[in-house]
Amino acid sequence: MSDPTIRLTELAHGGGCGCKLAPAVLRELLSEQPMAGPFRQLLVGTETSDDAAVWQVNEDLAVIATTDFFMPMVDNPEDFGRIAATNALSDIYAMGGQPIMALAILGMPINKLEPAVIRRILAGGASVCAEAGIPVAGGHSIDAPEPIYGLAVMGLCHPAQVRRNAGAQPGDALILTKGLGVGIYSAAIKKGALPDGAYAEMLASTTLLNRVGAELAKDPAVHGITDVTGFGILGHALEMAQGSGLCLTLRLDDLPWLSHAAALAERGFITGASDRNWASYGDRIALPAGLPDWRRRLLADPQTSGGLLVACAETEAARILSGIREAGYPAARIVGRAEPGEARVAVA
């Protein structure tokens, strides 16, 4: 018999993109997997850990495919569905595409959750897809020990407008479109310690569609895009650095944060995924001398439905940033630069 008072987060050992396997574990699991192979039409596969796969149909059309799902980081069912759907759609926007339809991915502990709760999760996801102008056209469901929800999403773009995480060029400015600290907030939620107003702030960020990515991809001054999710700003910047063969320098004082992220991190509200992330890639990160440990953990904090990290021509960065803010991303900032050198990330 299901318990109507049970919290969603009580049913999950992790939540949001903090559930992602650590980068080092993922590399080990994929190390013996065959590469995508010599498929001429496969424009983007697994080679640079990009956000989605891209298949060229003809000279004017490419199909983008992605899937993303996770366990709840919040207890409100509609909010869980909305956050998960926004996060899944982000991969399409990060590649420069427009989503066209989604399929639901659902795993639920049927004996622990009321059907009405599960319907509310699905309704939350469907509402975000409606906002994006696409249908949830089907899906697949299983009885699972922990609640899982997400989407498989298909999108379209012109092949010339595909933007990869490997496209940064020497001298490019780096722009981040949303504030960081979602993992910190989720840790505080689990312990009932989130300050007043912080939940609404987190929800506004995690349900803000990254649709600006499709517009940015039309701009020839924009060279590379990736979304910042479970590996934290350091991990996803490192993927861009390695894919592009450049050193990415992030300016610590210019990074945007959710308003309570630093204070909560200093008090110890850190996810386990933050430490797993750092253990996976910390040897390729240069940090300022004397940086407090809680600030290092902030930089590896897993983001759920985070912003886009955009590499663009430095001479056009102010114009591009202004356009991003006008499109509805007030937290957007110029946060660093791509430079020739060893493929790594430096924090200044």
Q: What single DSSP character describes residue 255?
A: -
Instruction: Please check if 141 is assigned to a binding site.
Output: yes
Is residue 190 a known part of a binding site? no
CB–CB of 192/264 below 8 Å?
A: no
Question: Known binder of ligand: residue 49?
Answer: yes
157 is catalytic: no
| The pair of three-digit structure tokens given for residue 81, joined into one six-digit string | 């569905």
Q: Are 240 and 168 in contact (CB under 8 A)?
A: yes
**Annotated binding-site residue? 91:** yes
Which of 38, 309, 270 is CA-nearest to residue 164? Answer: 309
Is position 5 annotated in a ligand binding site?
Answer: no
Is residue 68 marked as binding? yes
Q: Rounded to 5 degrees, what are φ and ψ at 326? A: -65, -25
- Is residue 244 annotated as involved in ligand binding? no
Determine if residue 192 is labeled as part of a ligand binding site.
no
Question: What are the φ/ψ torsions at residue 226 (nearest 5 degrees)?
Answer: -145, 155
Those residues whose C-beta lies under 8 Å from the C-beta of residue 146, and which sit 6 or more positions away, are 11, 12, 13, 71, 107, 109
Q: How far apart are CA 334 and CA 311, in angstroms?
A: 10
Alpha helices (H) in the chain, listed in sequence order: 23-30, 77-94, 115-132, 182-190, 198-206, 212-216, 232-244, 261-266, 272-281, 293-299, 317-326
Say whether 50 counts as a known binding-site residue: yes
CA 281/CA 159 separation, integer angstroms: 32
Tell whether residue 140 is among the known ligand binding residues: yes
Tell me how far apart the alpha carbons of residues 233 and 295 are, in angstroms, rounded to a whole number. Answer: 12
Binding site for Mg(2+), residues?
A: 51, 91, 227
Residue ranges of the binding site for ATP: 20, 48-50, 68, 91, 139-141
Report, as residue numbers or ranges, the catalytic residues: 17
Binding-site positions read 20, 48-51, 68, 91, 139-141, 227
